[in-house]
Structure 1
Amino acid sequence: MVNLVDLTTVSEYAGRVEYLCENNRCTLRIKNLTESDSAEYRFRLKTNQPDVRFAASAGVTLSVTDPDLLVKVMETMVHQSNSRAKLQCHSRCLLPHDPSYIWYKNGQNIRGETFTHSVYFDSADSFSCALKGHENFPSPSHCVDGQTCNRVIYNNRSICAFKGSSVDISCMYSNEYVQSKFWFRPERSHQGQNPSQPEDLSEDSQYASRVQILETWRGRSTLRISDLRDSDSAQYLFKFKTPSFEWRSDLPGTTLTVTALQVQVITSTVHQAYTYAELKCRSSCSPAGVSYVWFKNNEKIIKEERPLYKDQFYPGDIISCALQGRENYSSPLLYALKFPVVSVSPSDEIMEGSSVTLTCSSDANPAANYTWYKKDGNQKLHPLTKERQLVFSSIQVSDSGEYNCTAENELGKRTSDMISVDVKYSPKPPSVSASPSAEIEEGSSVTLTCSSDANPAADYTWYKENQTLFQGAEGSYHVTSISSEDSGIYYCKSRNQFGEINSTSLFVDVLYAPKPPSVSVSPSAEIEEGSSVTLTCSSDANPAANYTWYKEDEDSPKASGQIFTITDFRAEHSGSYSCGAKNKIGRQNSTFHQIVVTGAWTSRAAGITTAVVLAVILLSIFLLIRKKKSAKRSSEPGEPHSKQDLNQQLFRSQAYTLSYCRSKTELQSPPEELLYASVQFSKNQSDPLSSNIEDSVVYAEVQFNSAAPRSQMSATEDSTALYSTINKTRTQHESAAHHFY
């Protein structure tokens, strides 16, 4: 099978071919045709299915030749002073419709664009024509009058020669009175300083010792260039002068193309370990009747002298060819692909946002075609680009991963090792969370977690309201038994060598049962009946507590809410009060707080006190009167007692006790409790002031207990009674008892 090569990839056609395809019709356009373009051309169609191709069995044969122009003299008018001729530019080829022409006189461009041209001439003048756009293919210079005139005819319009070889470029010129002649290159006319003054190649340093001018016979000049180089490819012109004439150089000369042999792959079959291929030793000159020499790994293959060579080629094999006898000018080396090598620039750490270039290199001839791949999460390779370099102008974190490349040419395909691209970057904004994520109760275990995407991995620091709590590579902060004091705002900082960043704030709300409540009373001074009393219950709790008020010895709650107000406080409101604080975590009760009214108790106590005082005064007066009477009697005969003895006897025989007790606590007793005083007198039957007055029982007792419930007071002696008892022994005929309530 013939290996068809895309013309756009062939160096000889670079910039000269164009594909014009539309509506299932495809045209190949080749510009600047040369004789070497003569060949058979075929069309091949590739489908989107692998290995499905269609190619024409027969192609189009192109033969490239010059227009084969000739100048013909149609008629002449000869005069003694001057002559006139009508010329025609004739071609034996089929020319484009209505072409334009260029006319030359003695090698110099003159006006005229039609295929016929009328001119004045001398006998020594010569004329030439060319198609416009094809000036490199003019007709030979033609003498209008006879065969002797001023003209230069080049033996070859173009010559192809191998690098390192020698070439002869020849021309014919005619003039009997030539004074000077030389060969030159138009672009090297005194190194381009004066184009009108071309430089003789024999004096050009680039051709020193490599150029000879040969005159084999008169009117023929040959330029011989030896040891040809690539830079010798150019157009060469001949110029001569006479005493009255100078040959112009508007007409083209001979174009020399220096070429080298090349090894071309005709067919190839790639196997896992080697490639089987058919090679051809070729050049743009395509010389005939020559023998070839093949070299493999710098060793000559004796058996092969044809331009074609078939063999198995392994990675690293080197192949070249040369013309027999010119082995020193062999073709460039052809070698199978070596395994590609991948390089990364810059070679140090890769920072996010920087420019990074991956380069795939494989020593190969023909040059390799490259493809870059990146491995995805499923270990599959995805093609990225078919360039030798993979460029990231601003590399991102997502570009991190494993890459490799393949190199492929006519001799096979090879894959590089994987290379890892690790993009470094400063920490991304951290995310924070608490576990458990639901409500946090006091005493539970809580973990705060901080995580941040960073490369290299970040270190973490936990803060509570700017107070450092924890620092380390782990982003977790543990509290084994959290308390209400741990409530607050937390945040973390993530940091690596490329930067640092703080997280958003995390509020930790610790829930706890109410603390023991405290009760306050307003007003805090003595409470008068009818006034307004406010009880306030306070307890630290999260969530906030709900409050309930209780009165001692009552089953049902008195009120709910943190504040309990009694607008018209009366005696029945006195008692011990407590509050209960409760939320969904738990509850706590306060201690009892005793509250009594002072208005009613004070008035009653004052009345009782007044009654007791009056009783004492009356008793004192009574006793004083009796004392005086007794004194009179004792002064009588038979009564030996003195006044002093009488008084002592009186106070021994008469005793009284007044007991009064009031305290702030008693003043707060309920106003309805009974307060009373009792005074009792007793006399002997005989003289009340006699010496045998019975000793009185004297006692006083006051008791008050506002905290005692009424049920207890009814079962025993009234403990809230304020009373006084005075007993005095009287005579049988005299007794008195007085009670004050």
Structure 2
Amino acid sequence: MWFRVSADGRREFAHHTDPDQIGLSFRGRTRYIGGSYYSCSVQIRGVKLGDAGQYHFRFETDQPLGRWTSPDTVALDVTDLRVQVHPARPANTFGSGETVFVGCQAAGCAAAGRSLALYRNGLNLGSYEKWMIVNRFDQQHAGAYACRPIPPQNVQSLPLTLALGHGPRLTSIAAVPPGEVSEGGSVTLTCSSDAAPPVESFAWFKDMESGSIPDSFSPQLRLSHLTHTDGGEYFCVARSSLGTERSRPLLLNVTYSPKNTRVLVSPPGNIREGSYVNLSCVSRANPPPTRYAWYRILGDQVLSKGAFQNMTFPSVRAHHSGQYYCTASNPLGYQSAPVATLTVLYPPKNTSILARPSSVVDAGRPLTLTCVSQANPAVDNFTWHRLALDGGSAQKWGTKSGPVFAFSEVGPRESGQYYCEARNPMGAHSSPVLTVRVRGRLKVIALASAVGVSAGLITLTVAIMISKNMHRVDVESAEVGSKVCRPSLTADTAPCDPAQQTFPARKGKMSDIMEEADDDSDSSHPSIVPLSDAPPASDLSRSSASKYITVHYSKLSSTDEVQIHNLPLRGDRSPTDSSRAVYSLLAQPRR
């Protein structure tokens, strides 16, 4: 067995027949090479600086006196002599033009008071206190360096080889499969680079983004289930201890059908009638869309408007308002855009008035006038105007509540000409004039205040007419005996002619006769006045337009008939007296 005594006095076996007794620092590094007689050598492999020391030999037998330790010791001196290089590089490979420091380092027995010489490929480069500086390292500086003590001894450091290297170069990307890749497919990108020492790491980037793709530090990048967002330019960066290099970008062409199709309205916001409007169909696709189509929705119908990308209205009108959409297609498919609503703002137009039940209405009935107008935005203010039929100034009613102007019960005062004005933020528009006429019922006008005067007037009138028509009555009486004279209507006071037209007298009250509908001209309604309510003579004398009518009433056997003779206001004929004659006065309507 071989052992050494440690600083604390314990034995540390370098070799023992019992392997478990060998010290931990020597296990696996020692081998007994001695023979049976007079040879007890041991071999230590991989000598380290810590192996230095005094070693003892000892053997032991199974006899009581069969144990012996050699009094002589073997001294092992270890010199740690090595080549030092700065800066440290993987595989001691340096780039061209670098500055490299090379020196010798000694430890152990050779360290004290020894000079060391540096050798390259066996050539003595001289002795340096610490470092030999190599400027602009190149191929002539590459080689195996070693250190030896001075004076020369059979001691030399292990050689250290310095090599000339380079950073990554010829960095490139290859795609498998090459060319276009359809959406949903897969592709593998491989980054390759020539570097000495070899590339230490890779990084992947897309579309010149500032950050690298996550978890992409290997030479391969695999992309699965591709979408349209995966398309773009990819490049890789190769990095080593001597530098980095970026590859040229590789375009990954992912083909897909149109997506994100939509309608863009220009200009945006509120669009006034008459302005320029452009509807553009926008879609993302690879390859780009090759065909566009426009459609307009009108109720349940869908109308085709053409095959173009942009639909332009140089001067948009109200009837262009509506819902539009477009479709974009390429060889891989098509997509429709969501419906876009084109809203055109315009001032009121086509303003008119609707009268219910009619613009001609009976007195006492309700009347509703409605102002109708087309506008966008909707009319927010209605103003009503009335023009008097006599041409007077217009009366104005303003309302914020709505377009309806209602009368619960109309009378003559409501007759007139009406028009309405509709207004919104875009402007205002007025309707055509609507004429409203109120029809009244024929009424018996009783002039109670003139009863006395009327009675006097009637008496005077009857007396005058009896005296004027006395002769005419006598003639008529003479003719009665020979023939029956049928009543007739003549334009003068000529005797009754049997051939004259007769009409039956209506039995009933004259106040029950309904007035006929008014014509388009403005006129006053005539009044029928009973005898008892006739106006006084003084009032009649003021009217130059009065005429007198004589009514003869005869009782006939079959029917009651009336003969009416139109008498002139100023006549020279003598009135015929007859006790059967009844006289009345009617006022002619004013024209």
Aligned partner of 1:516 in structure 2 is 350
Structure 2 residue ranges without an equivalent (≥5): 47-89, 102-118, 123-136, 145-160, 446-460, 504-512, 530-545, 551-563, 578-582
Confirm or deny: 8 A CA contact 2:444 2:528 kept in the other structure.
no
Q: CA deviation at 1:266?
A: 5.2
**Partner SS state of residue 439, structure 2:** coil
Aligned partner of 1:20 in structure 2 is none
The 1:382–1:568 alpha-carbon spacing in structure 2 relative to 1, beyond 3 Å, is closer
1:563 and 1:434 map into 2 onto residues whose CA distance is 37
Q: CA deviation at 1:534?
A: 1.8
Q: Is 1:403 equivalent to 2:235 in the alignment?
A: yes
Aligned partner of 1:360 in structure 2 is 191
Aligned partner of 2:267 in structure 1 is 436
**What are the within-5 Å matches in structure 2 for residues 260-299 of structure 1?**
268-270=94-96
TM-score of the pair, normalised by structure 1:
0.43
The 1:357–1:558 alpha-carbon spacing in structure 2 relative to 1, beyond 3 Å, is same
Q: CA deviation at 1:446?
A: 1.5
Aligned partner of 2:321 in structure 1 is 487
Confirm or deny: 8 A CA contact 1:100 1:132 kept in the other structure.
no
The 1:369–1:657 alpha-carbon spacing in structure 2 relative to 1, beyond 3 Å, is farther
Aligned partner of 2:340 in structure 1 is 506
Query: Which one of 37, 51, 75 corresponds to residue 147 of structure 1?
Result: 37
State the one-letter code of the partner of 2:408: T
2:478 and 2:272 map into 1 onto residues whose CA distance is 89
1:559 and 1:418 map into 2 onto residues whose CA distance is 74
Aligned partner of 1:207 in structure 2 is none
Q: Is 1:311 equivalent to 2:139 in the alignment?
A: yes
State the one-letter code of the partner of 1:445: Y
Which deviations, in whole Å up to 9, do the C-alpha atoms of 1:560-595 show, x marking residues without a partner? 442222223222223343334343334131242332
**Partner SS state of residue 348, structure 1:** coil
Query: Which one of 400, 406, 410 corresponds to residue 569 of structure 1?
Result: 410
Q: CA deviation at 1:354?
A: 6.2
**What are the within-5 Å matches in structure 2 for residues 607-646 of structure 1?**
626-631=474-479
Q: Is 1:595 equivalent to 2:437 in the alignment?
A: yes
Confirm or deny: 8 A CA contact 1:276 1:310 kept in the other structure.
no
**What are the within-5 Å matches in structure 2 for residues 124-523 of structure 1?**
130-132=22-24, 135-140=27-32, 147=37, 268-270=94-96, 311=139, 339-350=170-181, 356-363=187-194, 366-369=197-200, 371-372=202-203, 374=205, 387-390=218-221, 397=229, 400-401=232-233, 403-406=235-238, 416-422=247-253, 424=255, 427-458=258-289, 460-465=292-297, 467=302, 469=304, 474=309, 476-496=310-330, 501-523=335-357
The 1:739–1:383 alpha-carbon spacing in structure 2 relative to 1, beyond 3 Å, is closer
Aligned partner of 1:740 in structure 2 is 586
1:371 and 1:348 map into 2 onto residues whose CA distance is 23
Q: Is 1:578 equivalent to 2:419 in the alignment?
A: yes
Alpha-carbon RMSD across the aligned residues, in angstroms, is 6.0
2:258 and 2:277 map into 1 onto residues whose CA distance is 25
1:484 and 1:135 map into 2 onto residues whose CA distance is 102
The 1:593–1:95 alpha-carbon spacing in structure 2 relative to 1, beyond 3 Å, is farther
**What are the within-5 Å matches in structure 2 for residues 3-22 of structure 1?**
none
Confirm or deny: 8 A CA contact 2:205 2:235 kept in the other structure.
yes
Structure with more of its chain in strand, by fraction: 2
State the one-letter code of the partner of 1:567: S
Q: Taking CA–CA contacts closer than 8 Å with sequence separation of 6 or more, which of the two structures ends up with the larger relative contact order?
A: 2
Q: Is 1:549 equivalent to 2:549 in the alignment?
A: no
The 1:585–1:461 alpha-carbon spacing in structure 2 relative to 1, beyond 3 Å, is farther
Q: Is 1:679 equivalent to 2:548 in the alignment?
A: yes
Which deviations, in whole Å up to 9, do the C-alpha atoms of 1:38-94 show, x marking residues without a partner? xxxxxxxxxxxxxxxxxxxxxxxxxxxxxxxxx1xxxxxxxxxxxxxxxxx524788
Q: CA deviation at 1:448?
A: 1.9
**Partner SS state of residue 427, structure 2:** coil
2:364 and 2:345 map into 1 onto residues whose CA distance is 42
**Count of aligned residue pairs for this structure pair:** 415
Query: Which one of 507, 517, 535 corresponds to residue 664 of structure 1?
Result: 517
Confirm or deny: 8 A CA contact 2:4 2:12 kept in the other structure.
no
State the one-letter code of the partner of 1:557: K
State the one-letter code of the partner of 2:319: E
1:559 and 1:338 map into 2 onto residues whose CA distance is 88
Structure 1 residue ranges without an equivalent (≥5): 1-70, 72-88, 116-129, 159-263, 279-288, 293-308, 314-318, 322-330, 605-614, 636-641, 682-699, 701-723
State the one-letter code of the partner of 1:664: A
**Partner SS state of residue 251, structure 2:** strand
Which deviations, in whole Å up to 9, do the C-alpha atoms of 1:171-229 show, x marking residues without a partner? xxxxxxxxxxxxxxxxxxxxxxxxxxxxxxxxxxxxxxxxxxxxxxxxxxxxxxxxxxx
Which deviations, in whole Å up to 9, do the C-alpha atoms of 1:459-488 show, x marking residues without a partner? 6544333735456673x3212333333222
Which deviations, in whole Å up to 9, do the C-alpha atoms of 1:678-727 show, x marking residues without a partner? 3357xxxxxxxxxxxxxxxxxx9xxxxxxxxxxxxxxxxxxxxxxx9543
Confirm or deny: 8 A CA contact 1:403 1:420 kept in the other structure.
no
Q: CA deviation at 1:388?
A: 2.9
Q: CA deviation at 1:157?
A: 7.0
State the one-letter code of the partner of 1:270: S
Confirm or deny: 8 A CA contact 1:520 1:536 kept in the other structure.
yes
